[in-house]
Amino acid sequence: MIRTICAVLALNLAAPALADTLKLASTYDEVGTNADGSKYTGTATVDVISDTTFSIKWKIGSTVYSGFGMRRGDMLAATYQVNGQPGLIIYTVGDGGVLTGNWSIRGENGNGTDRLTPRN
C-alpha cells in the first residue's frame, strides 16, 4: 500500500513539471481549412502570460482575431470572436512544437482545422 501511495504521489508531482516544460513560440505560420472546405493561410503571434495562460493573435489576410487561451500538458484551448460571435479552438502540441487544432464558431455549422508551425 505504501508503494502505491508513493507511486501516485510521484506521478502527481511530475505532472506539473511536464506542463511547465512546454514552451510556446512567439510567432507561427498558419494554414487551415474553413468549415466550408475553403483554405486560408496567415500568421499567429503568442504572448505567454503565465505558466498556463497566453494571449494569441491570428492574422489572416488583413483581418486580426485576438484570443485568450490556456494550456494543460500537450493541449491548448483558446477563445476568440468573429463578427461578435464566440469561437473556440483546441490544439494538440505535436513534434517540433507544431500546434494542430479544430475550431468552431457559435451559430455556424461544422468545424474548421488549423495548423500552426513555429518560425525559427
pLDDT at residue 96, as a whole number: 94
Contact by Cβ (8 Å): 52, 19: yes
Q: Contacts for 20-29 with beta carbons within 8 Å, 24 or more apart?
A: 20/51, 22/71, 22/73, 22/74, 22/93, 23/97, 24/48, 24/54, 24/71, 24/97, 25/97, 25/118, 25/119, 27/118, 27/119, 28/99, 28/116, 28/117, 28/118, 28/119, 29/116, 29/117, 29/119
pTM reported for the whole predicted model? 0.81
pLDDT at residue 18, as a whole number: 46
Contact by Cβ (8 Å): 32, 39: yes
Return per-residue pLDDT of the chain as tens, 120 residues.
555 444 444 444 444 544 454 589 999 999 999 999 999 999 999 999 998 999 999 999 999 999 999 999 999 999 999 999 999 999 999 999 999 999 999 999 999 999 999 997
Contact by Cβ (8 Å): 80, 58: yes
Going by C-alpha positions, the residue among 77, 119, 71, 72 that lies closest to residue 96 is 119
* Residue labelled with grid coordinates 495548423: 115
Q: Which CATH superfamily is domain 2-118 in?
A: Quinohemoprotein amine dehydrogenase alpha subunit, domain 2 (2.40.128.120)
Q: Which three cell numbers stand for residue 117?
A: 508551425
